[in-house]
Structure 1
Amino acid sequence: MDERSRTILRKGRTILIKGLCDIPGICDKLFAYGVLTEGMMSEITSEHTREQQARALLDILPRRGQTAYDYFHQALVDTHSQDLADVLKPELASRPELSKAKTLEETPQRYDRTTLQHAASVGSPIIDPPSLFSVGSIDIHSTVTVPPFTPETVEPMKIKMLKCNRQQIISNNPDCYSMDGNPRGKLIIINIMSFDNHGIPSRDKQAHDLSATSLSLLFKQLKFKIDIKTDINKKELLDLITTEQQSRETYDCFAMVILSHGLGDLIFMKDGEPLKMQNIMDQFDTENCPKLKGKPKLFFIHACPSDSGEQDNTEMSNIFPLIHEDHHTLTKADIFLARATKYDPIVSNTESKGFWFIQAFVHIMKYRGHHDHLLDIMTKVNGLAREDDQLVESMNTLTRSLYFFPD
């Protein structure tokens, strides 16, 4: 944390200690942002009085990096403590009121598998009518209300990102990751739907197709290069990783999505051979993939038990111990991981609409990706998860805010 931020926290300490009321709510926000660990949460809440808890929180924050200050400010805003938020960032205290929220609605439509596969290959979303999404540049302080997320509103082919105001985002968040390359990033989707006689049941192919298509259409609009690999074996995945490590391609962000069967720290390939999630992620850290040093590396994993509704209760800290440490090593910096623990294809009128986790992420990105950074996006996904009895876990070692800058 820089000296200016430390000074503001020090000078405003008395006001903050007296004014911090919803400390559990603030801590929950900071935990979701990756600022606080479970151990830190326990340390704060174990204090006997509210003021002691506030002091413990303020003692921890300066040790959590520059982004901790920004996330603390956002947590205060989110928990209706605007007066305290103004103490941290007085330059924003006189900002204009947020513009009236807008809601975009869509008409559900069915598409056959051939249409889905063609759209994924060319990266061309189907918009009907096109004028519905002619929103133009959105001010950084404007808001767009996210429509309810239901099976009927999941339309993978109607994905059109709202445009951001890059200049305003950077002006208000100068320490965000650079995302202006061409291509801006690379997304690899590993889509394992069937398995070769190893007692592992085949997956819902329609759910896989729709989820992969949704992600492909979304990230192509974010100027990512897309590489989809379907039903590959363990050796083919390892060869793919080696090729990526040795490639001279440069981009600002790397992302990998894995859709398969899994349990605990294992992901199964088409040949039934397992790979540890941590081992896959390690191949893209600073030591094994130097070209990604200082750049965000994102992993979205939907590799759950195959029975619908069955949940994988393995602790994230056991699966990813190196990411879960309080002090992150330099080689493990700039990593984000989100993991679904429940196998729940979305079904409407007996028709599959994709996997809940993937479609919920795409749904929030569609309406908030022009304005929110990644951790705010995931906080909103977690909100949907609570409403729908889902469970999505995430953790990160990001050192800056990650905005996708759709334009």
Structure 2
Amino acid sequence: MPQWRALMDHRGECNRAVLVSVAQFDHGVKLGRRPGAERDAKSLHRTLSKLGFKVDVHTDLSSDEIYQLFLRESRRPVKDCFLAVLSSHGEEGCVFGADGKPVRLAQIFRCFDNEQMEKKAKVFLIQACRGDALDDGVEVDSAGDAAEFSQDLSVPVDTAVMYATAPGYGAFMHPLGSVFLQTFCTLLKEDGNRNLELTRLMTRLSHRVAYTFQAKGRVLGGKKEMPCLLTRMTREVFPFTEPGKDSATAAAAATGLSATSLVCSNYVRTRTPSIS
């Protein structure tokens, strides 16, 4: 019997995850293939399934198909948490379908502002570029246009959106998978992280990516990546607690662990990337 059934309630509902991965674009679309996207999808499916999620993977969908998929998913029952992963090429505020047309994230988020999802935790992981800039690993002052934040206004209550990178910057992809999603999976395999409250887990994810990843190569050598969390959570949630453990146990397990206490030099590695 699949392990996720252990988290089903008396109505047959369970936590659900939907992975949308665009690796190969339609003929004539001037967007390069994304080697490593398939590996990300496999890692996510394996990791989340072990944590009680019913996982569905969708590959190389068109923009209209992505919109329709999330419209349907936003109306399906879920136990406590719905998790979505969108992995593709992107720009600020959108990712691209296999047909090369933009999928507006604000429109996706708004689908989940309904009665069905009102009291559920909703988590989005966005593996996509948000611009063309490359991160040198230093802080800079930024005076962005207010329009850049319009998509944030569409995020429903009790929703967290974790972007692979900050607004205006590129996200890295490698044939072995993206540093953002592969690090996310790695954290969930390590003792202690699964029972962290969501925002603490995301802080740990940001730290691990920001401080242990550095690109290699003549052009991109030394470039960094800094994930970015947007949250409208009104309560603490423990979406990745191991099957059989309740939130109280998870909270106890998290007590005393700082967001960076499990980070050490053993995790430092470099890789030759491509921009997603």
> Normalization by structure 2: what TM-score?
0.69
Supply the distance in 2 between the matched residues of 1:317 and 1:294 (Cα, whole angstroms): 29
Aligned: 1:236 with 2:47: no
Kindly state the Cα deviation for residue 180 of structure 1 after the two structures are TM-superposed: 6.7
Compare the two structures and name the one with the higher helix fraction: 1
Supply the distance in 1 between the matched residues of 2:236 and 2:205 (Cα, whole angstroms): 17
The structure that has the greater radius of gyration is 1
| Equivalent residue number for residue 121 of structure 2 | 296
Supply the distance in 1 between the matched residues of 2:201 and 2:30 (Cα, whole angstroms): 37
With CA pairs under 8 Å and 6+ residues apart, which has the higher RCO, 1 or 2?
2
Supply the distance in 2 between the matched residues of 1:356 and 1:215 (Cα, whole angstroms): 13
Retained in 1: the 8 A contact 2:92–2:131? no
Supply the distance in 2 between the matched residues of 1:317 and 1:357 (Cα, whole angstroms): 27
Retained in 2: the 8 A contact 1:278–1:319? no
Alignment of 1:5-404 (within 5 A): 181=9, 183-196=13-26, 197-204=28-35, 207-247=36-76, 249-286=77-114, 290-304=115-129, 310=134, 318-321=147-150, 323=152, 332-341=156-165, 342-346=170-174, 352-367=175-190, 368-387=192-211, 388=213, 389-403=224-238, 404=240
Cα deviations by residue, 1:210-256 (Å, 9 ceiling, x for unpaired):
11111111111121111111001122122212322443x33211111
Supply the distance in 2 between the matched residues of 1:371 and 1:253 (Cα, whole angstroms): 15
- Structure 2: 5+ residue runs without aligned partners? 136-141, 214-223, 244-276
Kindly state the Cα deviation for residue 273 of structure 1 after the two structures are TM-superposed: 1.0
Supply the distance in 2 between the matched residues of 1:272 and 1:314 (Cα, whole angstroms): 30
Kindly state the Cα deviation for residue 321 of structure 1 after the two structures are TM-superposed: 3.3
Supply the distance in 2 between the matched residues of 1:339 and 1:323 (Cα, whole angstroms): 12
Kindly state the Cα deviation for residue 383 of structure 1 after the two structures are TM-superposed: 1.3
Residues 246/396 of structure 1: CA separation in 2 closer, same or farther (3 Å cut): closer
Retained in 2: the 8 A contact 1:300–1:339? yes
**Secondary structure at the counterpart of residue 240 of structure 1:** helix
Residues 305/370 of structure 1: CA separation in 2 closer, same or farther (3 Å cut): closer
Supply the distance in 2 between the matched residues of 1:383 and 1:188 (Cα, whole angstroms): 25
- Structure 1: 5+ residue runs without aligned partners? 1-121, 125-178, 347-351
Supply the distance in 2 between the matched residues of 1:336 and 1:314 (Cα, whole angstroms): 24
* Counterpart AA for 1:355: S
* Counterpart AA for 1:405: T
Supply the distance in 1 between the matched residues of 2:161 and 2:148 (Cα, whole angstroms): 11
Supply the distance in 2 between the matched residues of 1:183 and 1:251 (Cα, whole angstroms): 5
Kindly state the Cα deviation for residue 400 of structure 1 after the two structures are TM-superposed: 1.2
**Secondary structure at the counterpart of residue 362 of structure 1:** helix
Cα deviations by residue, 1:75-124 (Å, 9 ceiling, x for unpaired):
xxxxxxxxxxxxxxxxxxxxxxxxxxxxxxxxxxxxxxxxxxxxxxx989
Q: Percent identity?
A: 24
Residues 306/355 of structure 1: CA separation in 2 closer, same or farther (3 Å cut): farther
| Equivalent residue number for residue 148 of structure 1 | none
* Counterpart AA for 1:243: R
**Secondary structure at the counterpart of residue 25 of structure 2:** coil
Q: CA RMSD in A?
A: 3.0
